[in-house]
Chain A
Amino acid sequence: MTASTIRPADIGAGADPAAAGSIATLITDAPEPAPTLAKTFAAMMAREFRVLRRSAVATFTRAVIQPLLFVFVFAYVFPKIGGGFMLGGGGASASSSVTGAGASSGVNFATILLPGLMASMLLMQGITAVTFPLVMEFSWQRTIEDRALAPVPIRVLAGQKILAGAVQSFIGAAIVFPIVLLVHAAGQGPHVHVTNWFLFTLIMVAASTLTASLGLLIGTVMDPRKMQMLFVVILLPATMLGCVYYPWAALHSIRWLQILVLINPMVYMSEGLRAVLTPSLPHMPLWAVLLVLVGGTVVFGYLGTRTFRNRVIN
């Protein structure tokens, strides 16, 4: 059909037959909609990528700054200024106190840091990628209704949000990888060896899905006015006690803490990535890691979908 331009002022009840005719054509010649669950889901994902593409620079710049500064200070500045005493040994070989029992000697801090920072990024990106947009969408304008009226069940919309957040989380963690590989003082580069690409991918996918599911749950239960508490109450403790800067085994001398941190899902992400990226360091058994990551995804995904549905439908 050929659409002519009509100004609203021209559109009247029969005042302008051409305008009314064009609107008529617009309605009667409209393509027959044939929505399917797959098409709608794909369109929703396409929308997420369009938004992500538009804000990619800002989003990933924010994401990169923290790990970049961490590796710059710990893998470049400290070794240069002889800050090894702070790590309990020679700057170039900080392993003994950090890696704990059974750790191999000669492991530098960047090697310990790489899996931890990737896990930190997974958590940070996964939660914020889902929670922050949700807070906006559930605000008084309730822009969530835009997609809630799409011809799919609400739980599918929840699943789409988890998947979109997981993708962003995965990309964020992947960006950390080259940063840690490249930013370090001479001789301070991490010793990384991917022992099993399948397991590495599986852990990355499971971890990013877990964090996005957690983001959905947080975004639907948290009071938007208290969102700054997200950093103080959840992200900061999870990161500091998430075995980012030390392997879980290194906590053996503080037994109560070693047990307490097991409630932190980030521990399993750090340890899982340690198992497949730096297997020479002590790490948790993979079965335990995968059990928690997959189980956590199911639990958080179920709870998040439920609370999401209850927030969308009054």
Chain B
Amino acid sequence: MTAVIGQSPGTTRETHDAAIRTEDLRKTYKSSRGDVEAVRGIDLNVPHGEFFGLLGPNGAGKSTTIGMLTTLVRPTGGRAWVAGHDVTKDTVAVKRKIGVVTQNNTLDMQLTVAENLEFRSRFFGLSARAASKRAAQLIDAFGLGDRRNAMADALSGGQARRLLIARALVHRPEVLFLDEPTAGLDPQTRVNLWDILHVLHDLGQTILLTTHYMEEAEALCDRVAVVDHGKVLACGTVDELKEGAGADTVITVRYEDPVPPGFADHAGLADRLGVSKVEADGDQLRVFTRDPEGLLGELVTAGAAAGLHVRDAAQLKPSLETVFLTLTGREYRE
């Protein structure tokens, strides 16, 4: 996979087929209260032009991973390359090739909307005149014309997000990193941003997005890596993931009393067609099945026969959420 092209002695320049590639990438934070392993050996391979998602709950290690890929977090193990450059040895070359939309609002609050774009353009070598022109183009394209001279701290959440994306694009980045770009935004603004990202993707822009929104990953990404506790649990297209780990419909029933041992066998669930797994945990019973038709009613009836009354029930159709549930045994919490 790794192709080293024209490498001369003393250089660290390596060229890879992938826009992003990691090998056993790790990050451990040292603290007086003990070490925290935020990322525990992640292997990724994102080809050029792909829209790749890192999906996981808060604290899964997504932002740390994106931090290492964008040179702002120092890995403690493994290696990573972005646009062919080693993220630890060739940080300046990496920064030239990437655009980053950070999770926090890292706009320069002491500058206006236009100035944020102008100075970012100038950081990347544009003359003052070219930077001004570039800023005007981006402001128009991202619908910020009426906020051109507003200070960055006066923008709404959606406007700030649009400006962050515009700012990340001033220098034609080879790879665009988006760290929870729609976190905290209202649904309408989120969908508007999705539209922008769709257009960018259609243009062949390589994008790595982290999100804890299942529907965002499903709506945007070509491939998704499900991450939890600093590890990739599964990686593939959404359909592949659903077919593999999360093909089942998951029916969860909570009874008013604890589920007694042997209840699943007594109810005949193990022999029921399509049922792949049954989990009992306290007052909760979870059944994974490819044939959910009528199963909920059967669980209610079987519970009643065993003296269990249903408190509530839920049915999840195959989705990234069922993928997560299958892989981790835990319900997905945003």
Are B140 and A3 closer than 8 Å at their CB atoms? Answer: yes
Query: A140 — which chain B residues lie within 8 A by C-beta?
Result: 104
Query: Roughly how many angstroms separate A254 CA and B134 CA in the complex, as a whole number?
Result: 64
A50, CB-defined interface residue at 8 Å: yes
B contacts with A, residue count (CB < 8 A): 56
Within 8 A of A (CB), among B160-214: 162, 169-172, 192-193, 195-196, 198-200, 202-203, 205
A179, CB-defined interface residue at 8 Å: no
Contact flag A7-B143 (CB < 8 Å), given A32-B172, A153-B92: yes
Are A26 and B141 closer than 8 Å at their CB atoms? Answer: yes
Query: Roughly how many angstroms separate A140 CA and B106 CA in the complex, as a whole number?
Result: 10
A88, CB-defined interface residue at 8 Å: no
Contact flag A11-B123 (CB < 8 Å), given A30-B171, A32-B172, A51-B110: no
B115, CB-defined interface residue at 8 Å: yes
Query: B122 — which chain A residues lie within 8 A by C-beta?
Result: 39-40, 42-43, 46-47
Within 8 A of B (CB), among A130-154: 136, 140-153
Residue of A nearest to B104 (CB): A141
Give A83 Cβ to nearest chain B Cβ, in Å.
Answer: 43
B4, CB-defined interface residue at 8 Å: no
Are B106 and A13 closer than 8 Å at their CB atoms? Answer: no
Are B107 and A313 closer than 8 Å at their CB atoms? Answer: no
Checking A26, A28, A44, A312 against B123 with a beta-carbon cut-off of 8 angstroms, the contacting residue is A44
Query: A26 — which chain B residues lie within 8 A by C-beta?
Result: 137-138, 141, 169
Are B198 and A33 closer than 8 Å at their CB atoms? Answer: no
Query: Roughly how many angstroms separate A8 CA and B142 CA in the complex, as a whole number?
Result: 6
Query: B172 — which chain A residues lie within 8 A by C-beta?
Result: 27, 30, 32-33
Query: A145 — which chain B residues lie within 8 A by C-beta?
Result: 72, 100, 102, 104, 106
**Best-surrounded residue of B67, B91, B124, B205 (most CB of chain A within 10 A):** B124
| Stretch binding the partner chain, chosen from A16-24, A99-107, A286-294 | A16-24
Residue of A nearest to B188 (CB): A9
Are B137 and A1 closer than 8 Å at their CB atoms? Answer: yes
A35, CB-defined interface residue at 8 Å: yes
Known: A3-B141, A8-B143, A8-B196. 7 other contacts (CB 8 A): A5-B143, A11-B192, A39-B122, A46-B128, A54-B110, A143-B107, A312-B72
Are A150 and B107 closer than 8 Å at their CB atoms? Answer: no
Query: A35 — which chain B residues lie within 8 A by C-beta?
Result: 96, 123-125, 171
Residue of A nearest to B198 (CB): A13
Interface size class of chain A, counting residues whose CB lies under 8 Å from the partner chain: 35 or more
14 contacts between A and B (CB under 8 A): A11-B192, A15-B195, A23-B196, A27-B169, A27-B205, A30-B171, A43-B123, A46-B122, A145-B106, A149-B71, A151-B95, A153-B92, A313-B74, A314-B29
A36, CB-defined interface residue at 8 Å: yes
Could you list which residues of chain A lie within 8 angstroms of chain B, going by C-beta atoms? 1, 3-9, 11-15, 19-20, 22-24, 26-28, 30-36, 39-40, 42-44, 46-47, 50-51, 54-55, 136, 140-153, 312-314
Binary per-residue interface labels of chain B (254-281) against chain A in the complex, 1 for a CB within 8 Å, 0 otherwise: 0000000000000000000000000000
Query: A146 — which chain B residues lie within 8 A by C-beta?
Result: 106-108, 120
Query: B126 — which chain A residues lie within 8 A by C-beta?
Result: 31, 33
Are B145 and A9 closer than 8 Å at their CB atoms? Answer: no
Binary per-residue interface labels of chain B (303-325) against chain A in the complex, 1 for a CB within 8 Å, 0 otherwise: 00000000000000000000000
B150, CB-defined interface residue at 8 Å: no
**Best-surrounded residue of B73, B105, B106, B196 (most CB of chain A within 10 A):** B106
Contact flag A142-B123 (CB < 8 Å), given A8-B195, A33-B171: no
Query: B73 — which chain A residues lie within 8 A by C-beta?
Result: 313-314
Are A141 and B95 closer than 8 Å at their CB atoms? Answer: no
Are B109 and A143 closer than 8 Å at their CB atoms? Answer: yes
**Best-surrounded residue of A3, A43, A46, A144 (most CB of chain B within 10 A):** A43
Query: B130 — which chain A residues lie within 8 A by C-beta?
Result: 31
Query: Roughly how many angstroms separate A35 CA and B134 CA in the complex, as a whole number?
Result: 15
Are B202 and A13 closer than 8 Å at their CB atoms? Answer: yes
Are A5 and B145 closer than 8 Å at their CB atoms? Answer: yes
Within 8 A of A (CB), among B76-100: 91-92, 95-96, 98, 100
Contact flag A47-B108 (CB < 8 Å), given A11-B192, A23-B203: yes
